Structure 1
């Protein structure tokens, strides 16, 4: 089966994982037909299941980089369903995001966060859809509330979610 792997917290101030290195690490770990997508910690692999692919990738990345890197594994058909279900309109003034839950229950409190007039959120199955004005990803009302709620989540808050631009997810699917 084809599985999309979305790495959490790489190439954005954390550890740098170059595409060529990611391909090599994942291939050496036994994942098949590895394709990397952009320089933002995305890959598509062949594996027996999404959970096996994610665990294999996490172990291989930790061995290579000396620190835990969370990986979301999602079957490409399931990812396509997430992308197709994006409920907000798309335009040049807003950035469409999908926030994936890496820790069960962490997204539920975010649905009730009061957003600005130009933002929109909607809860999906294990994801939260978010549309916000371009240039306000880190400063919007939702972003600030998300960070605050993340800090109160069980465990390491940095590991609670991973977020992708909807356009990036479409590129991941195209690479599948």
Structure 2
């Protein structure tokens, strides 16, 4: 089955994982038909189990970079449902995000937070759908709470990036 691997905290001020290196690393970890997506720590692979693929990627990444890099593995079919379930409107004034939990229960905890002005937050199955005014991702009320409460326990993607991941799958 086709599986998306979403790396947490790479190419955003942490460790830089170049697409060609990520592809070679994942192939070396025994994952098949590896395609990297954009330069933001995303890949699509063929494997029999999403969790096992994510674990294999984490082991290979830690061996190469000397630190733990968390990876979410999600079947493309499930990712398509997450995208389809995005409940907020999309417009030029807001950025659409999906926050994926890396630890069970954190999405529900985050979805219970009060969003700031112009933001919208809704719970999904293991995710939080978040819309915020453009340019306020790090300074918004939810963005700040996300950093404080869940920094290493989630990985966040722009909805447009997720659509691109599905396209290459």
Quickly name the TM-score band, shorter chain normalised.
over 0.9
What residue in structure 2 maps to residue 160 of structure 1? 153
Structure 1, unmatched stretches of 5+, are 151-157
Structure 2 unpaired stretches of 5+: none
Q: What residue number does 1:153 align with?
A: none
Is 1:47 matched up with 2:40? no
TM-score under structure 2 length normalisation: 0.97
Scaled by the length of structure 1, what TM-score is found?
Answer: 0.93
Q: CA deviation at 1:52?
A: 1.1
The structure 2 residue matched to 1:172, chosen from 152, 165, 169, is: 165
Q: Which runs of 4+ in 1 moved over 6 A?
A: none
Query: What's the RMSD between the two structures over aligned residues?
Result: 0.9
Query: Counterpart of 1:56 in 2: which secondary structure?
Result: helix
How far apart, in 1, do the equivalents of 2:117 and 2:67 lie?
40
Correspondence for 2:74 = 74
Q: CA deviation at 1:109?
A: 2.2
Distance 2:109 2:64 in 1: 35
Check the 8 A contact 1:3/1:75 in 2, yes or no.
Answer: yes
Equivalent in the alignment of 2:87: 87
